[in-house]
Amino acid sequence: MRNKITIIGAGNVGATAAHWAASRGLGDVLLLDVVEGVPQGKALDLLQAGPVDGFSGRVTGSNDFADSAGSDVVIITAGLARKPGMSRDDLLAKNVAIVKSCAEQAAKSSPECVLIVVTNPIDAMVYTAFKVSGFPKNRVVGMAGVLDSARYRTFLAEALGVAPRDVNAMVMGIHGDNMIPLIRLANVSGVPVTDLLSEEDLNAIVSRTQHGGAEIVNHLKTGSAFYTPGLAAVEMAQAILTDSKRVLPCAAYVEGEFGFSGCFLGVPVVLGAGGIEKILEFKLTDEEKAALAESEAAVHKQMEATGL
């Protein structure tokens, strides 16, 4: 039996995630949205790419949560996107209601699934999904660090003139201005970036990473990024569906790890069949601890704003 992946929200991020999931042959893909015709049309268009791309899974669209029953992974992308001048926090109030409804219905239709939350502000939205779904912490995870780390690795690769795949770098903390692109651990095939780039250049790359989403929003004017967010969610889904034990930075519920508890923070986790199988805790410098504390404080502020 093939895996089943439901993607809630047929906007740019959701449709792109469906594209990546189908192209990678992860299983049958259901695109779900409240707008009649949109998920059906996009799914049919994507299905017809099968003969060209070589995938054979089913791709369908629906407006009915009943069709998502039995999903192995549910990716929540539904919600409003940022526009120029908006912060991720500006989306919170409206997106809480959307994610709350999606998580409740997903939990009812697919009680054994793993929930991957993409909707912004991610740290608050994954907390919302966790609270309303009633799922254990290992089966609710937020997509943030994979995207932010991809941006970080891209900017480092550009500065160094090397292949992005050879850059190893990670972003921790909140998905927002207080995110922490770790300089100390970043390397190119084992060579520390601190030996290759100046402090000034590295600080500029860190700042660009922290504002990477806003940079794209300012270019697009009418929306936010979708290619890499969609792929980042699918990268996580693939690790879960294939039980590959990938180590990826994700928004995970911490209970004492790194000295913090009771919230979702971007940390390195092992993703497998059960969702989050382990948080990889390592020793932070005093400066990194202080930065993570700022992230944690910002996350708690968002959590309070959800009213849950």
Mind listing the domains of the chain with CATH numbers?
Answer: 4-142 (3.40.50.720)
pLDDT of 52: 97
Q: In Å, what is the CA distance from 46 to each residue of 7, 58, 199, 232?
A: 14, 10, 45, 19
pLDDT of 91: 76
pLDDT of 89: 66
pLDDT of 82: 66
Round to whole Å and give the CA distance between 141 and 235.
13
pLDDT of 163: 98
pLDDT of 45: 98
* Tens-binned pLDDT, residue by residue, of the chain (308 aa): 899 999 999 999 999 999 999 999 999 999 999 999 999 999 999 999 999 999 999 999 999 999 999 999 999 999 987 677 766 667 788 899 999 999 999 999 999 999 999 999 999 999 999 999 999 999 999 998 999 999 999 999 999 999 999 999 999 999 988 999 999 999 999 999 999 999 999 999 999 999 999 999 999 988 899 999 999 999 999 999 999 999 999 999 999 999 999 999 999 999 999 999 999 999 999 999 999 999 999 999 999 989 88
pLDDT of 225: 95
- Helix (H) or strand (E) holding 267, with range, is strand 261-272
Whose CA is closest to 57, among 72, 69, 42, 47? 47
CB 22 within 8 A of CB 49: yes
User: In the chain, where does DSSP find H-type helix?
Assistant: 12-23, 38-47, 50-53, 92-109, 122-133, 145-160, 199-210, 212-220, 227-241, 286-306
Q: What is the pLDDT of residues 143-196, one digit of tens each?
A: 989 999 999 999 999 999 999 999 999 999 999 889 999 999 999 999 999 999
Round to whole Å and give the CA distance between 156 and 73.
32
What are residue 141's DSSP bridge partners? 116
The answer to whether residue 175 is catalytic is yes
- Helix (H) or strand (E) holding 167, with range, is strand 167-168
DSSP conformation class of 283: P
Round to whole Å and give the CA distance between 123 and 117.
9
CB 92 within 8 A of CB 306: yes
| pTM summary value | 0.95
Identity (one letter) of the amino acid at 71? S
Of the residues 19, 175, 211, 219, only one is catalytic, namely: 175
